[in-house]
Structure 1
Amino acid sequence: MMLHTCWDALSEPVRVAVTEQTGNIRSASQVGAGSTCQLAEILHTRQGPIFCKGVRTDAGNTWMLRNEIRVNTLLPAGVAPRVLWQVEADGWLLAGFDLVPGRHADLSPGSPDLVTVADTLSLLSGFVPSAPVRPFSARWQGRIAPEVIDGEVLVHTDMSRRNWLVDGGRARLVDWSTPATGAAWIDTALMVMRLVRYGHSPAEAEAWASRVPAWSAAPKEAVAEFAVALHRLWRERQNAVPLGWRGPLVEATKAWATYRSRRATRVVLR
């Protein structure tokens, strides 16, 4: 379990380095414990509020925040909060982001959020980054043939509802800590699995996915192979380290993979 800290508990060198970027900080308030960061706070400055997240550089997952900082500069405007600055001091890496309004997406059947989420995925599914990003197939080596998921499109890869911030008719995708490049339909496929987890049938989830052009153009056999590989991945993770939140994802991937396999000619769920 990751230990979390607050602004006031940071050392003076860290706080000084941050205030050199922000100006005087009037107050700070925690916004909950992040799963990939040890500090997540809103810093209230004269210029306005800033979202600050940070990790200790010896924590082992610093690479995730470095990924997020780097890929932020490659994203289309408005898709995610903009990185304003980064600071590395006294054993900490911190980044400041635009503070944007929003709440976590409601992914249940009938939710109006599903339309705005599909709109954002449609935009991203045509976006090719201007700098190299690690291929998704490298992460999935040995799980699926590279040609099934290879592509040039930037993909987020973590469609947790907590990574969607919805405000009115707009959905932003945050926490780009595990980006990759791959087939344009990958993020939509990962969202299909999440929708099944939140109460949609596989058929209903795929009907929603048809809002995204890249999904409609995806090779059906490739999607089926991906669904089966995704189920095996979550089943292996749950068997290795049983966690309560993983159980529903194992069941969701099984339901979707079974549905998909029945419509494929060469894919078998095992």
Structure 2
Amino acid sequence: MMQRRRWEDLPTSVREAVQQQCGPVTAVDYATTGVNSAFAATLHTEDGLVFCKGTTDTTSAAHRTEVRVAPYLPAVAAPRLLWHTDESGWLLLGFEHVAGQHADLSPESPHIDLVVEALHILTEALTPCPPVEVPHLSDKLARVAPWRRLRQAPPKELEPWRDRFDEFIALEGVAIEAVRGDSLAHTDLNPLNILITDRAKIIDWAWAHRAAPWVDSAHLVIRLIASGHAPQDAEARAASLRGGSGSAPEKLTAFAVTVFGWWEWLRVKYPAPQRARLVEAASTWAAYRLSETRLR
């Protein structure tokens, strides 16, 4: 998590630029989650609350993606971007404030149905993909090629899988083709990126990609497993989304194996406390998918 700035630490010109957009700021509540913004807080203004986040890197791909994508997101399932401003080396975004809690994806949680409904709305609204410049998920997977990288220097945690590296690399190629599509996908369904009120709203579209319509439901499967669901139950909960939790079973298996490799490669290259749990969830799903595919 990058070092966060306080409101009074922002340059005077930056605070003035923000207040030109939202009016005088009377109080500030600082966000305690998130890793990509140097400033993140709820601003109290005379006209109400605004969630504001920003970065000192004005070329930040993540924040620029959010600016480009936001106009196309249905307001019922994602907060509206009210304004953005570039000033004195800062890019700041002002969003509709959502007074909700982060999603609980554990078994029996009532939040899950709300999340599935929000993703259904988003998939319907964002397929075909709006005319917005975002990277293709297939290109990203092809560029990273996680299993090819991992085979070059396998971590000890992958010892049980070493005799299957060639198979996984082949499945990686299948997944690269399988995720090609014309939908705008979120691709980062961390529960911290889902706010719950009487409905679910999906926030932080920094890693939006053009992909197949089923990709977000497949990502949801991994998050459900990480929250305590058995793989078959996680797939069943996500299957109500458009396109189900994948297309052909073999393609879904290829995707599961590739995401397992992706998270393991991230764990090795960019260690972070939360990665181990996601690797475990992704490997659990991949093992389940591999066994299911062999039984067909």
Q: Do these two structures clear the TM 0.5 threshold for a shared fold by scoring above it?
A: yes
1:217 Cα offset (Å): 6.4
Contact 2:267 2:275 in 1 (8 A): yes
Normalization by structure 2: what TM-score?
Answer: 0.85
**What letter corresponds to residue 252 of structure 1 in structure 2?**
A
Give the 5 Å matches for 1:21-60.
Answer: 21-57=21-57
What amino acid does structure 2 have at the position aligned with 1:224? T
Q: Secondary structure at the match of 2:244?
A: helix
Given candidates 250, 255, 259, the residue that maps to 2:279 is 250
The SS at the match of 1:76 is coil
Determine which of 171, 178, 184 is the counterpart of 1:154: 184
Shift, 1:213, TM fit: 3.2
> Which protein is richer in helix relative to its size?
2
For the 8 Å contact 1:221–1:265, the answer to whether it is kept is no
Q: The residue matched to 1:140 in structure 2 has which SS?
A: helix
Q: For structure 2, list consecutive stretches of 5 or more residues without a partner in the other structure.
A: 146-171
Question: Is the 1:50–1:99 contact (alpha carbons within 8 Å) kept by the matching residues of 2?
Answer: yes
8 Å Cα contact 1:14/1:90 also seen in 2: yes
Equivalent position SS for 1:49: strand
Unpaired runs of at least 5, structure 1: none
The residue that corresponds to 1:79 in the other structure is 77
- 1:179 aligns to what? 208
What is aligned with 1:165? 195
Match of 1:3 in 2: 3
Q: After the TM superposition, which of the residue ranges 135-144 and 194-203 deviates more from structure 2?
A: 135-144
Moved more, 66-75 or 234-243: 234-243
Greater relative CO (CA pairs within 8 A, separation 6+):
2
Superposed displacement of residue 266, structure 1: 11
Q: Percent identity of the aligned residues?
A: 36
| RMSD after superposition | 1.8
> 1:87 touches 1:94 (CA, 8 Å); kept in 2?
yes
2:68 to 67, 70, 79: 70
Q: Distance in 1 between matches of 2:269 and 2:210?
A: 27
218, 226, 242: which is aligned to 1:197? 226
Alignment match, 1:93: 91
Deviations 1:210-265 (CA, angstroms, capped at 9, x unpaired): 22131166221111000000111111222234332111111111110010011225
Deviations 1:5-58 (A, max 9, x none): 111111111111111111222122212242110111111111111111011026
Instruction: Work out the CA distance in 1 between the residues paired with 2:295 and 2:266.
Output: 25
Matched to 1:93, the amino acid is L
> What displacement does 1:68 show?
0.7
How many pairs are equivalent? 264
